[in-house]
Chains A and B, each alone.
Chain A
Amino acid sequence: MPERILEVASLTKHFGGLRAVHLDLTVDARELRCLIGPNGAGKSTFFRMLSGAMRPSSGTVRFQGRDITGWDAFRIARLGMSIKFQVASVLEELSVRDNLHLAAEFRFGNREGRRRAAEMLEVVGLAERAEHPATWLSHGEKQWLEIGMASVGEPALILLDEPTAGMTAEEMKKTVRLLKRLNEVATVIVVEHDMNFIRMIAGRVTVMHQGEVFAEGSMEDIERNEGVRAIYLGKGSQYVVRR
């Protein structure tokens, strides 16, 4: 049986009267997991709790065998979990290179960090824009920069919240290749709305609905699942599975 890198037990978040998240989930090491669900399902809130950006109301998170519930974000990051938030949050006034350098430096130190940042520039295809302030980048380029920042520290687990939002079909394909490459060494959980993307990724899929796990399985299973169709259709036609 493969090692379990992430075990989440009745992790709950309340906002006032709203229970935004309440779920159990396990993820194996080296998995490439997709997390889908309609708007407001609680996916981003779940990620924020995992990464320590938000404290859970109750429940536990075990990561690499350690209980990290309620830890500070920086400690969780040091343990080997990294996140790309939903809203692009690159450090706008720093150069592209410095963004990556900063992300690599805490783990590898100044010199090695600089070298790895340079490598990552190639990987995400931003070498030519290395000295530009991140704020000059296009939407898609910012997403890649963030993916680079999330992976340059060689984390064991990478959380990606909507990495292809605002990308063209071509850019999206490139992102899929990038993710597969990251997955060779790390576990990846990716939140996406775009079903084509999910299909290309071809990993295990977890569907969230109203804060809970609604269904889990391969993409084929999920696409056949009447309940899943219903929750998407109920929310409006833009979520009809695109072909």
Chain B
Amino acid sequence: MKRIASTETLAALLLLVPLLAVPWAFKPYTANVLAVYMIYGILALSLTLIWGYAGIMSFGQTAFFGIGAYAYGAIGLNLINRTQQTHAAVLGGLVVAAFLAAVVGYFMFYGRISDVYASIITLALTLVLFAFAVSTGGDEWVIGVARFGGFNGMFGQGESSQNIANFQIPPVTVWLPGMAQPFEFKINRESAAGYFLVLGMSVVMYLTARWLLRARLGRVAVGIRENEARVASLGYDTRFYKFALFTIAGAIAGLAGILFAAWGRFVNPDRFGLGFASSTVVYVLLGGRTSLLGGFVGAAIVGYLTSYLAEIAPFGTIPGDATPWARFLMEAGRRIVREAPLLVQGAVLVGIVLALEDGVTPPLSRLLTRYRRWAWWLLLPAVVFYFGQRVACLQADVCLF
């Protein structure tokens, strides 16, 4: 027990030290990118909770993410100019996402449809929401001043046709009694507050999930995954537990959606799309569905890989004197790189399922447990030193290398 606890502390330090140092150690771009990985990580966490622990596969967890983002956007756009804060928008986003999950969960679990059907229903849900969001391009699709904007995504428009200046979804903005002015959680040159908000929420959600799993809800959920009939015969209304966990997971996905809309100040139908839905599954599968950290790890790996692949644009221009064969190969290479995100995701899904791997996080944590002494005395100081040096370099121009 003690060994596990100390490994956990170590893992927490190894993750949190760099993450806390990032805003001072790197340019705002890095904090921005990490923030979105963490947001996807929270979404993946919600899937881990119901898939990894209760055995309910939701292919459409993105439906709750997207609906949370849209609800936050719609309420935020309408209220920001009047009240200068987004309290109601955050709450509204959470409530709407949880409500949708509760309704769908009620019909699925109290109807006792089989697990396979449930996965399909959730997938259909997000795809239908995608179709819906896409077709809201017309002028009539507004809630107050918030325009759905179809493919282009949601934005605010002037209240009258004279005042037509458009504006964006607001960042999370807090204005509590006693505060002189509202506080905006942004990520830019001046402020990393938005980054810390996302980091804080990631930690809070991780701890919440961990607490849930240690409570009765979690034990029953794992029992349901193992043998639902058995748990029912012990006196538990398994429908209710599935419903409750699914609703909670929906709310967590909704929170991720809210943070996403506030982070990019933008949301469009792609958040409901098949690509995003499959990414979420890939994050969990790659990171490891039996580990609550898995989703974060998976999101970071896939996110990094995709942005790396997007940056390398091979064969900038194809030389005019290239032979037809070389031309063909270069063109093919270029197209393959362009489609790399999809191809990589597809390959990861097939590969992990066939190779029966349980993702990268469990082996990593086993490694850490095994070599924890080395990690305490070498890895952790190295990490602290590296980030300390980066901070010193960027903030005070004291650069060692």
Contact = CB atoms under 8 A, between A and B. Distances in A.
Direct A–B contact in complex, judged by CB atoms less than 8 Å apart: yes
Contacts, number: 67
Interface residues of B, number: 18
Given A89-B227, A93-B226, A94-B219, A106 B235 contact: yes
A145 B229 CA distance: 17
Contacts of A94: 219, 222-223, 226
B205 interface: no
Contacts of A85: 230, 233
B372 to A, nearest CB: 21
A77 B227 contact: no
Contact of A73 (B220, B225, B227, B232): B232
A115 interface: no
Interface string B213-238: 00010011011011101111111111
Interface string A141-164: 000000001000100000000000
A98 B234 contact: no
A107 B231 CA distance: 13
Interface string B319-351: 000000000000000000000000000000000
B399 to A, nearest CB: 50
A77 B223 CA distance: 16
Given A89-B227, A91-B231, A74 B222 contact: no
Nearest to B112: A72
A216 interface: no
A51 B232 CA distance: 10
Kindly state the interface size class of chain A when it binds its partner.
20 to 34
A21 interface: no
Contacts of A102: 219-220, 223, 231, 234, 236
A83 to B, nearest CB: 5
Contacts of A72: 232, 237
A184 B231 CA distance: 26
A39 interface: no
A110 B235 CA distance: 14
Interface in A73-98: 73-75, 77-78, 82-83, 85, 89-94, 98
A82 B222 contact: no
Interface in B184-242: 216, 219-220, 222-223, 225-227, 229-238
A165 to B, nearest CB: 17
Interface in B232-261: 232-238
B383 to A, nearest CB: 33
A101 B219 contact: yes
Contacts of A51: 233
A99 to B, nearest CB: 8
A149 B227 CA distance: 14
B89 to A, nearest CB: 37
A75 B237 CA distance: 8
A128 B322 CA distance: 74
A52 interface: yes
A151 B223 CA distance: 18
Contacts of B223: 91, 94, 102
B113 to A, nearest CB: 16
A120 interface: no
Contact of B234 (A92, A110, A153): A153
5 contacts: A74-B234, A77-B234, A92-B226, A93-B225, A102-B234
Interface of A: 51-53, 72-75, 77-78, 82-83, 85, 89-94, 98, 101-103, 105-107, 110, 149, 153
Interface of B: 216, 219-220, 222-223, 225-227, 229-238
Which 7 interchain pairs have the tightest Cβ spacing?
A77-B235, A106-B235, A73-B232, A91-B226, A89-B230, A74-B237, A78-B235
Given A74-B232, A101-B219, A105-B219, 16 more contacts: A52-B232, A53-B233, A72-B237, A74-B233, A74-B235, A75-B237, A77-B232, A82-B234, A85-B230, A89-B227, A91-B230, A93-B226, A94-B226, A102-B220, A149-B234, A153-B235
